[in-house]
Chains A and B, each alone.
Chain A
């Protein structure tokens, strides 16, 4: 039942320049559109669509970069439509499972108490609720090795901070908009910093340089309790 509904999402195919196609499943972020996008990206990689040189899953879309000498936009659009029609199960995203140990609060997570307060929870209760359910990597690509994980239940949604921090260190675990993100490099952010992990999803010395893929399952665990 769920599958038939999901397959009713007919994506829009749009040029992104003269060597890119955006396959867009929705204008707004939803769990279904995200699964469809990730599912299609895996399919596109497995199928090796003609002329396609790069498959980039986004939150609700997939960018296909292709060689316009090998295939035109309209021919590729035909290939994509055919692949989507034959997609056996749009939502069966098989991904790796990763446990990420996080030190919550204290110097590692200066915004933990504020986030807990916003949600009317004790910090310990927030951490427990945060870690209770596995999350999915819903998008990558914002910065090297950066991942967005979601989606949290509606009870755990807080807005971003009013102030952007100019820099937070690699390993920062960020929280906002019903998602938890992990920074693999030093970045600026307007999200709440709730903890830090030793896990680094970026090593420029190896190929591929990151380990987490969109669709993977993430289980967060408290490393040393709350500081």
Chain B
């Protein structure tokens, strides 16, 4: 008997993700991996899996489980509505699935990304050390692409080993509203005063958000009309805040292009990336500068 799940409805941005493939920037490949790592870890803890997850976007997705044996599904990230055979189950959490169970996940109160993980491994090819889908490069995951209705994701027959040392079980609450960043490699190329106005301004999350980046609406026109001379390109890291030629700020995310030639005013600190990824279109954010020494002290004490 076939064992796995059949996708019966897929919103945008449904893809297989795991820890990703860091270390390949020189080869032209960004690391990919979960947009909200805490949500990803929590889903793994809920079902005892360290294997890959299915990450989904704000509109969720539906699937039907097929298998002779029961399997445990764990789910977390944002606040979504999940039902099994039409019966609501509390989010985040876990459940036991039997053959033919229909799971529907739809938009809830919060967040852009959620995760389901299973106590089985997802049977797709491990490519360059990872099962993660890299949408920009069109590789990894399931045929290098987002999942669509009708796709069948096969599971291993054996249960996977327990998740170990995979971080917090509960998504921690942010202790500040602003997004902290470290001044970037081109912070000095903008017009005088830009750094101050950048930190004072409100930015709105636009509707153009995906795994590559988050386009921001610069309501107070911090960057309008700024002419920056052409720059020699450098490697990109997730969190880089680049300013396009028309003044649009874009925060580069997990499937970012590997190199960039647009000026980067700053880089969002690692600890604030998950929270930023979960901000929905229309939300207002502020950027707060933080010194690299302070950011690294936070990492060492394990705080956010």
Residues of A at the B interface (CB closer than 8 Å) are: 14-20, 22, 24, 26-29, 53-61, 63, 65, 68-69, 72-74, 139-146, 184-185, 202, 204-205, 207-210, 213-214
Please tell me which one of the listed residues A27, A58, A74, A143 contacts residue B233 in the complex, with CB atoms under 8 A apart.
A58
**B207 on the A face (CB < 8 A):** no
Contacting A at CB under 8 A, from B232-271, are 232-235, 237-240, 257-259, 267-271
Q: What separation, in Å, do the CA atoms of A121 and B24 have in the docked complex?
A: 40
CB atoms of A68 and B235 under 8 A apart: no
The reply to whether B234 and A18 contact each other, CB–CB distance below 8 Å, is: no
In the assembled complex, 13 residue pairs joining A and B whose CB atoms fall closer than 8 Å, in A order, are A18-B295, A28-B232, A54-B23, A58-B233, A60-B232, A65-B25, A65-B237, A69-B299, A144-B137, A184-B28, A204-B127, A209-B24, A210-B26
Q: Is the CB of B23 within 8 A of A63?
A: no
**Cβ 8 A contact of A63, one of B137, B235, B295:** B235
Out of B233, B270, B293, which one reaches A17, CB within 8 Å? B270
Does the CB pair A59–B233 fall under 8 Å? yes
Q: Hey, which bits of chain B sit against chain A, CB under 8 A? A: 22-29, 127-129, 137, 139-140, 182-185, 231-235, 237-240, 257-259, 267-271, 292-293, 295-296, 299-300
Q: Let me know if B28 and A146 touch, CB within 8 A.
A: yes
For A214, list chain B residues within 8 Å (CB): 26
Q: How far is the CB of A43 from chain B (nearest CB, A)?
A: 15
- B127 CB contacts on chain A under 8 angstroms: 204-205
Instruction: Tell me, in angstroms, the Cα distance from A175 to B79 when the chains sit together.
Output: 50
* A210 CB contacts on chain B under 8 angstroms: 26-28
Contacts A28-B232, A54-B22 given; indicate if A142 touches B259 (C-beta within 8 A).
yes
Q: A20-B237, A74-B293 are in contact. Are A141 and B259 (CB under 8 A)?
A: yes
Q: Which of A18, A56, A185 contacts B137 (CB 8 A)?
A: A185
* CB neighbours of A207 from chain B (8 A): 128-129
Q: Which 8 A-B pairs have the closest CB atoms?
A: A17-B267, A18-B295, A144-B28, A63-B235, A68-B296, A15-B292, A56-B235, A56-B25
Q: In this complex, what residue of A is CB-closest to B264?
A: A16
Q: A54-B22, A73-B296 are in contact. Are A208 and B27 (CB under 8 A)?
A: yes
A68 touches B300 (CB 8 A): yes
Contacts of B25 in A (CB 8 A): 54, 56, 63, 65, 141
**Which of A58, A59, A68, A145 lies in contact with B299, CB distance below 8 A?**
A68
Among B28, B137, B258: residue with most chain A CB under 10 A: B28
Q: Which residue of A lies closest to B180 (CB)?
A: A18
CA A14 to CA B114, docked complex, whole Å: 35
Q: In the complex the two chains form, what is the Cα distance from A63 to B137 in whole Å? A: 21
Q: Are B29 and A209 in contact (CB under 8 A)?
A: yes
List, in ascending order, chain B residues with CB within 8 A of A139's CB.
233, 259
Question: Nearest chain B CB to A147's CB is how many angstroms away?
Answer: 9
B300 touches A18 (CB 8 A): no
Whether A18 contacts B296 in the complex (CB less than 8 A), given A60-B232, A61-B234, comes out as yes
Check if A141 sits within 8 Å of B270, measured CB to CB.
no
User: B27 contacts A145, CB within 8 Å?
Assistant: yes
- Tell me which residues across on chain A come within 8 A of B184, comparing CB atoms: 16
